[in-house]
Structure 1
Amino acid sequence: MDLNTITAVIRPRSRAELPRWQEGDAWLAGGTWLFSEPQVHLSRLIDLTDLRWPPLTISEAGLSISATCTVAALDALACPSDWLAAPLINQCCRAFLASFKIWKTATVGGNLCMALPAGPMISLLAALDGVCTIWKSDGSERMIKVDDFITGPQRTTLTPGDLLRQIDVPRAALKRRAAFRQVSLTAVGRSGALVIGTRGHDNDLTLTVTASTKRPIQLRFAAPPDSDELRDAILRDVPDGLYHDDIHGKPAWRQAMTLRLAEQVRGELVDQARP
């Protein structure tokens, strides 16, 4: 869609060249949502393409994902063999309600910043204890966990002029065993509930609930809970008012699916540990 209110496009090549933020500005990365509907409140785009951030960097610390990394690039990543949680990357990429054409343009950072409950990059990076680095307009930086970065449907902790630079995933999270479950009302519909569980070498278990809830929710257990303990924890820590309500699923259904998927994830991670 043409954005006929845009009067300028800025293409900075370094942080020093980023313009002073003003009303009517928008960051442009993939632009798959930006160009999908009228944006009459915008007058200037700041194109991040020429910053040329490396999409993906593997190091001893783990995995660094630039905000401008495309979904296609992330899906194609060849992961080290000891990253037991690596299958989550492909599973979450395929949870997108998008074609392969969108994959080549849509960005990981854009999915986070849109903050839709069904955003699968949110599911992936919250489950893997991702940490966002945010460039502030005053030249400073701040860091925040992905599950804290998202505060509600299309709401984040970003303030005007803030720019999501990257998301860092610790190696320890990537080396955990993982299980994934997702459900939609229709075969190719938006996720109504998406649950990821990970289990560490110390036998601890973390359950991350997304899509069914307005923001990511994590439940942590020192040891795998039994079925009743898990159900009680979800009913206690995910109140009824936190379940999302839209055409892709009503709260009661989303809660029921969350409980069902969580038990399946728990069962898979417990079975994996048996000799």
Structure 2
Amino acid sequence: MDLNTIESVLTPGVREALPPWRTGDAWLAGGTWLFSEPQPHLARLVDLAGLGWAPHAVTAEGLSIGATCTIAALERLDLPADWAARPLVGQCCRALLGSFKVWNAATVGGNLCLALPAGPMIALTAALDGTCLIWTPEGGERHLPVLDLVLGPCATALHPGEVLRRIDLPAAALRRRAAFRRIALSPNGRSGALLIGTLDGTGAFALTVTAATRRPLQVRFATVPEAGALESALAAIPDDLWYDDVHGAPAWRRHVTGLLAAEIRGELASEPGEGA
């Protein structure tokens, strides 16, 4: 879609060339959402592609994902064999339903910053203890957990002029056992609930709930919880946090979240390979 209110597009090559933020500005990464509907409030785009950020880096500390890394580039990444949670990367990438054009343009950072409840990159990075590196307009930086970045539908904790630079996933989180569950109202529909469970080497259990709720939520237990304890934790989610749109009513989202959580609990309570 043509954005006929845009007066200029800037493509800075280094951070120092980023312009002072002003009303009517927007950061441009993949642009798959930005160009999908009218943006009458925008007058200037600042294209981040010229900054040349590396899409990803695998180190002893974990996985760093550049905010401009595309979904396609992330899905193709070959991860260490001892990172037991590595299948989550492909599963969450494939949860973003779109054409090859979208996959090769949409970015990880854009998915987080758009902050739609069904954003699968939110689920992936929140479940694996992701931390955001954020550039501030004054030239500094700050760090923020992904769980604290997304505040609600299309709402984040980013301040005007701040840029999401990178998301870091620690190696310890990537070594956890993980279980993934997703459901939608139709085979190719937007996620109505997307849940990820993890189990670390000490037996600690975490369940991350996304898509069903307005923002990502996480419940943690020292061990795999009893079924009733997990049910109680989910029942404590306030009614107004269950998301309501054409892709699922709140009551349905709450119900299927309980079913998927029980499946995840059962999978992680079993020994690896049991029942295979």
C-alpha distance in structure 1 between counterparts of 2:143 and 2:247, whole Å: 32
Q: Name the structure 1 match of 2:25.
A: 25
Aligned residue number for residue 249 of structure 1: 248
1:209-267, CA deviations, whole angstroms, 9 ceiling, x for partnerless residues? Answer: 0000000000010000111111011112x122110001100010000000000000000
- Tell me the CA shift for residue 140 of structure 1: 1.3
Aligned-partner SS, 2:209: strand
Shift of 1:272: 2.9
- 1:269 matched to 2:262? The reply is no
Deviations 1:117-164 (A, max 9, x none): 000000100000000011110111111000110001111001110110
2:239 aligned with 1:240, yes or no? yes
Post-superposition offset of 1:97: 2.5
Between the aligned partners of 1:37 and 1:252, the Cα distance in structure 2 is 30
Aligned to 1:191: 191
Unaligned residue ranges in structure 1 (runs of 5+): none
1:51 corresponds in structure 2 to 51
Structure 1 residue matching 2:192: 3-state secondary structure: strand
Report the TM-score when normalising by structure 2.
Answer: 0.97
Cα distance in 1, alignment partners of residues 271 and 117 from structure 2: 29
Q: Comparing 103-112 with 32-41, which one deviates more in the overlay?
A: 32-41
1:4 match: 4
- For 1:252, what is the secondary structure of its paired residue? helix
Q: CA RMSD in A?
A: 1.0
Segments of structure 2 that go 5 or more residues without pairing to the other structure are none
Tell me how far apart the structure 2 counterparts of residues 274 and 53 of structure 1 sit (CA, whole Å).
Answer: 39
1:260 aligned partner:
259
Q: Structure 1 vs Structure 2: percent identity of aligned residues?
A: 58
C-alpha separation in 2, matches of 1:206 and 1:40 = 42
CA distance in 2 between counterparts of 1:84 and 1:249 reads 32
| Separation of aligned partners in 2, 1:99 and 1:198 | 30
Q: What is the DSSP-based 3-state SS (H/G/I as helix, E as strand, rest coil) of the residue aligned with 2:6?
A: coil
Question: Which structure 2 residues correspond to residues 113-262 of structure 1 after superposition, within 5 A?
Answer: 113-236=113-236, 238-262=237-261
The one-letter code of the counterpart of 1:11 is T
TM-score, normalization by structure 1? 0.98
What secondary structure, in the 3-state scheme, does the structure 1 residue paired with 2:164 have? strand
Amino acid at match of 2:241: L
- Number of equivalences: 274
Deviations 1:29-87 (A, max 9, x none): 10001111111111111011110000000111100000000000000000000010000
Specify the code of the residue in structure 2 equivalent to 1:97.
Answer: L
Q: What letter matches 1:125 in structure 2? A: T
